[in-house]
Amino acid sequence: MAKSNWAAFPHPDKAFDYAGDKLAKAWKSLHAGDVEPFPDEKQIVRLLKANSRLGKDGAKIATQLQDAWRAFHRGDFRDAHDAGVKLGPLGASVAIKAGGIHATYLVTSDKDKLARYAALADLAEDAVAALPDEANSHYRRAFALGRYSQCLSIAQALAQGIAGKVRSSLDIALKLASKHAEARTALGLYHAEIVGKVGGMLAKLTYGASAGEAEKQLKEALKLTSDSPIAWIEYGNAQMLLHGDKGEDAAAAAFDRAARLKPHDAMESLDAAWAKAQLA
């Protein structure tokens, strides 16, 4: 990807530097939303046993992957993405999260966003093929395709069948990891977006989507990660999709909650800044 497409993270903070043992100690809170397993040697060896074609040196790969995640958490998104890409399916999770979060907040061109999300979706397809038993193989596919579809018109997205691919990926991710809060948030938003765009009756009949299921999934995500800015942001976005102007107060309250949370890393810093901007 062109260097010009990788704008720098605008809110650097020493608190986001998880050097050395800091990463392992903070991992549970950093990854409460996506339940990403900590990539130590034991975890990598387990994955290599599942697919020996992915590499041989578990210790070396673990070190490289931990460094990629450190780059992600401190806001060096390009470094995190590129390091993940080099590791193939083993690095797809960090590559997709880094490239996707960066594109969401720091890429302004819709054309560039589409190209980024399309490339990330390809990475996700490879990860699903190589590591089908990992929840985040499927969740990252849903994330990349979902972001891609948001750059299209509803007609284009529906014509390409993206909604069905997102739904099936989220269903599989949650079957593999029922406490995956980000997947629940995404599933709730999936229901809300379809209801908001095609209406309640058509959403139910054609896609099995409903306002009730949107609320259920989003609230479950908030239970799992009440201190996650993105969980509150997407809950607020869903209120607008489901209720229009009548949802403004609930959305504003959710954005306010997100804006007041103390970010744990660069991603949450961008989430909170976005929420704060909505209230200005």
Q: In this predicted structure, what is the pLDDT of residue 1?
A: 45
The 10s digit of each residue's pLDDT in 170-197 is: 999 999 999 999 999 999 998 998 887 7
Domain encompassing residue 232: 188-280
- On whether residue 192 sits in a domain, the answer given is yes
Say how many domains are in the chain.
1
The 10s digit of each residue's pLDDT in 54-81 is: 999 999 999 999 999 999 999 999 999 9
- On whether residue 256 sits in a domain, the answer given is yes
Q: CATH number of the domain that 222 lies in? A: 1.25.40
List Cα–Cα distances, 87 to 54, 98, 101, 114, 241, in angstroms. 8, 14, 19, 23, 38
Q: In this predicted structure, what is the pLDDT of residue 2?
A: 46
Contact assessment for residue 101 and residue 76, using Cβ atoms and an 8 Å cutoff: no
Q: In this predicted structure, what is the pLDDT of residue 206?
A: 73
Q: Per-residue pLDDT averaged across 9-30, rounded? A: 97
Q: Per-residue pLDDT averaged across 258-265, rounded? A: 97
Please write down the HEC assignment for all residues of 3-27: HHHCCCCCCCCHHHCCCCCHHHHHH
User: Distance of alpha carbon 249 from its chain centroid, rounded?
Assistant: 26
Contact assessment for residue 216 and residue 188, using Cβ atoms and an 8 Å cutoff: yes
Question: Maximum distance among all alpha carbons in the chain?
Answer: 56
DSSP 8-state secondary structure symbol assigned to residue 152: S
Q: Per-residue pLDDT averaged across 132-149, rounded? A: 96
Nearest CA to 188 out of 159, 225, 158 is that of: 225
- On whether residue 5 sits in a domain, the answer given is no
pLDDT category of residue 4 using cuts at 50, 70 and 90: low
- On whether residue 7 sits in a domain, the answer given is no
Contact assessment for residue 80 and residue 69, using Cβ atoms and an 8 Å cutoff: yes
